[in-house]
Amino acid sequence: MRELTSFVVSSEESAAKALDYFNGFHDGFMKRIVLESRDRISEDLSQSCTGMFDVEIDFAHYNYSEGAEPFHPHDQIVRAEFRNVQDILTDFRDGFLGNTIINLSIISVNRRGAGQCGTEECLGLRLARHYYLEDERRYELRESQLFTFTAATFVEQPSAV
């Protein structure tokens, strides 16, 4: 049994290593997405609304970069856990139906800091997919930022086989 690979991502450089290994998740898809709010209601009924989330995405994936050995199963799941997530904007309209991931990328960005004043450095998760333009009967490559975050882990999950 082979050892499962994992990556900790806290910078553009560490993200590049992970995404290079996983070939940008090319030809993969998001099998499961979990959004968990960090907001809470205390015992005294006061509320803490942080605007922060943690996001977990299971990528179904098989198309690794060259040299990623040993061979990976056809049904490999890679679980990505993103922390301190904000600025969530996802587009799953029907034009994207049936289209796999072309490339997943992570870039350095700035966002509004805690307390709504100033900015803070963080990372942005970007997704490139083909979008079908029905009126024109053609596909167009579209890339969008799904959200911002401060840290992530990518961990291969044991095969179901």
User: Which pLDDT does position 91 carry in this prediction?
Assistant: 80
Q: What is the pLDDT of residue 4?
A: 84
Global confidence as pTM: 0.87
Task: Give the pLDDT confidence of 79-95 residue by residue, as tens digits.
Answer: 999 999 999 998 877 76
Concatenate the DSSP letters of all residues of 2-46 into one string. Answer: PPPPEEEESSHHHHHHHHHHTGGGTT-EEEEEEEEE--EE-TTS-
8 Å CB contact between 144 and 4? no
Q: What is the pLDDT of residue 123?
A: 98
pLDDT of amino acid 161: 56
The pLDDT tens digits of the residues spanning 14-63 come to 999 999 988 899 888 899 999 999 989 888 988 888 889 999 999 988 76
Please list the residues that pair with 6 across neighbouring strands: 155
Is the pLDDT at 71 greater than 70? The verdict is no
Q: Which two tokens mark 58?
A: 């299971």
